[in-house]
Amino acid sequence: MPEPVATATLLAASGLTPVKPESPNAERIADLFWFVTFFAIVVFLVVAIPLVVFIVRYRSRGRSRGEEGPQIVGNTNLEIAWTAVPVVILILIAGFTFYKLPGLSLEAPNELEVQVEGRQFYWQYRYPNGAIAIDKLVAPADRVVRLHVTAPDYDVIHSYWVPALFGKMDAIPGRTNEVEFKGKVGTYKGQCAEFCGLQHARMLNQIQVIPSEQFDTWLTEQGAAQTAGRSDLGEQEFTGVCAKCHGDRGQGDIGPAFSAATVSSAQSVEQIVREGRNKMPPVGRGWSDEQMQALTAYLQQRFAQGSPPGG
């Protein structure tokens, strides 16, 4: 890795600069950061240096309170100067923002469109072929992915965000917002950014960008597997939807532990998942039958034998 790149990575990792951008629109936002930072440092120095110099230079040094400084009440030229110069700086910042604006929304003929739904307390994705994913979105590299971000009417506001790829976009019940990215291969982390209740802190998401050809195969297979009921959707649902409150091994946390008895009846599981109970939101409201079956089957397979399997 060449030296400047290593330094940049280190700076980003330490939080001294934004997360390293991996999508053209995120890059433009990072450019804005640097542009504003330049002026912020200049302005800070213009304020801080005179402040410190005057504090040191004009300190009392035992002079009595009665000794007054020169009675200067103002200076019109100075007032004009420190009004006009900030105006110029702000015009530059606004101008640079306008210059960067067009590239902030991406458009391409071969876009992949994904529906993103914020739910208490997970993210649900729906691909064009109907395949569903929870929390982790798999996306093709170097192709514009357009996310339609929303939340169902009966849910609350969330905000979808992956710092390396794009700025956040609220998932608001009754509205659909759009945000795009065009990522490089890698896995990028994000987290719900609008306070959404009890487990807001656990509402993590990630985007795994894989080479485009691999993605096409993966999506076709995933779609077929889900229709046939042999996908890992049940496990995704357990991890993303259930485990945040019931524990990674279903051992119980905010919600009660899973046992053979609680998961034995697919019907009662479905009822609780669709309607919620006490503090539990209706996490499975609006799920398709396949989605529900994937979960009940997984729960039975994992917990029906009594004690939960280790790990």
Restricted to residues 31-50, the positions that interact with other proteins (CB under 8 A) are: 32-33, 36, 39-40, 43-44, 47-48, 50
Minimal distance, residue 79 CB to other proteins, in Å: 5
Cα–Cα dist 183/283, whole Å: 30
Spatial separation of the C-alpha atoms in residues 311 and 305, rounded to whole Å = 15
192 binds other proteins (CB under 8 A): yes
Considering the rule CB under 8 A, would residue 229 count as an interface residue with other proteins?
Answer: no
**What is the distance between the alpha carbons of residues 109 and 237, in angstroms, rounded to a whole number?**
32
Beta strands 166-171 and 158-162, pairing class: antiparallel
74 binds other proteins (CB under 8 A): yes
Q: Chain-centre distance of CA 176, in angstroms?
A: 16
**One residue of 68, 267, 289, 306 binding other proteins per CB under 8 A:** 68
Contact 55, 198 (CB under 8 A): no
Strand-pair partners of 147: 114, 179
Question: Is residue 10 part of the contact set for other proteins (CB under 8 A)?
Answer: no
Among 106, 157, 257, 272, binds other proteins (CB under 8 A): 157
Scanning the structure block, which residue is given the tokens 């910042």?
93
**5 is an interface residue for other proteins by CB under 8 A:** no
Identify the residue among 137, 196, 263, 292 touching other proteins (CB under 8 A).
Answer: 196
CB of 124 to other proteins, least distance (A): 18
Which span (1-9, 89-97, 206-214, 282-290) binds other proteins, by CB under 8 A? Answer: 89-97
For other proteins, which is the closer residue by CB, 1 or 88?
88
HSE-CB at 253 with a 13 A cutoff on CA atoms is 13
Give CA–CA dist 218/214, Å, rounded: 6
Tokens at residue 149, please? 């971000």
Given the complex with other proteins, which of 221 and 248 has the nearer CB atom? 248
86 binds other proteins (CB under 8 A): yes
Cβ nearer to other proteins, comparing 177 with 208? 177
Pattern 107-126, binding to other proteins, x per CB under 8 A? --------------------
Phi-psi category of 115—alpha, beta or left, where left has phi over 0 and alpha has psi -120 to 50?
Answer: beta
**Cα 72 to Cα 57: distance, rounded to the nearest angstrom:** 17
Q: Which of 2, 3, 75, 306 binds other proteins (CB under 8 A)?
A: 75
* Binding status of residue 77 toward other proteins by CB under 8 A: no
Position 19 contacts other proteins (CB under 8 A): yes
In the complex with other proteins, which residue's Cβ is closer, 70 or 310? 70
Q: Hey, what are 107's tokens?
A: 């458009």
Q: Does 170 bind other proteins (CB under 8 A)?
A: yes
Considering the complex, what minimum distance in angstroms separates the CB of residue 160 from other proteins?
9
Phi-psi region of 127 (alpha: psi -120 to 50; beta: other; left: phi over 0): beta
CA distances to 49, 50, 121, 292, 297 from 45, in Å:
6, 8, 44, 60, 63
Q: Does 297 bind other proteins (CB under 8 A)?
A: no
Closest CA to 128 of 28, 222, 14, 10: 222
CB of 292 to other proteins, least distance (A): 22
Size of the site for other proteins (CB under 8 A): 86
Applying CB under 8 A, which of residues 63, 184, 230, 277 lies at the interface with other proteins?
Answer: 63
